Amino acid sequence: MLNLLKRFESFIVLTLILMMMVVVSLSTIELGWLLIKDIITPPVVLLEIDEILEIFGFFMLILIGLELIETIRAYYVEHSVHAEIVIKVAMIAIARKIIILDIKDLPSLTLIGIAAIVIALSTAYYVIKRMKL
């Protein structure tokens, strides 16, 4: 029974990695298409600020996907979830949110909350890195 469970778990993890690879690949193609489309649209080669923010958001989304693949791979190889990788994914996700955020429309309490998340993630990452030394 335990052997069946291990094979099932391996199958699911490998399926997740494969699906994430497809998603990251398609997202990269979409980013390339978006970049080409924005560059050839008049004014040629000049990007407006909303286009740049959209492109940066896509870049960060692809980085999140790559880090998730790394998390799943680490779980498959070592059968444990590494807190450092999970925190890196969270940091990239919050950075993406900050980059595409329109600060003018947000209440100050929301900005304080985002700052608290950034500080908490940074502190956790620092502590984990110090523990490894």
Q: pLDDT of 82-99, one tens digit each?
A: 888 889 889 989 988 888
pLDDT at 44 exceeding the cut of 90? no
> 3-state DSSP helix/strand/coil percent for the chain, to nearest 5?
85, 0, 15
What six digits make up the tokens of 108? Answer: 């100050």
Query: How sure is the predictor about 62, in pLDDT bands with cuts at 50, 70 and 90?
Result: very high
Per-residue model confidence as pLDDT tens digits over 12-43: 999 999 999 999 999 999 999 988 988 888 88
User: What dihedral do alpha carbons 97, 46, 31, 62 form, nearest 10°?
Assistant: -40
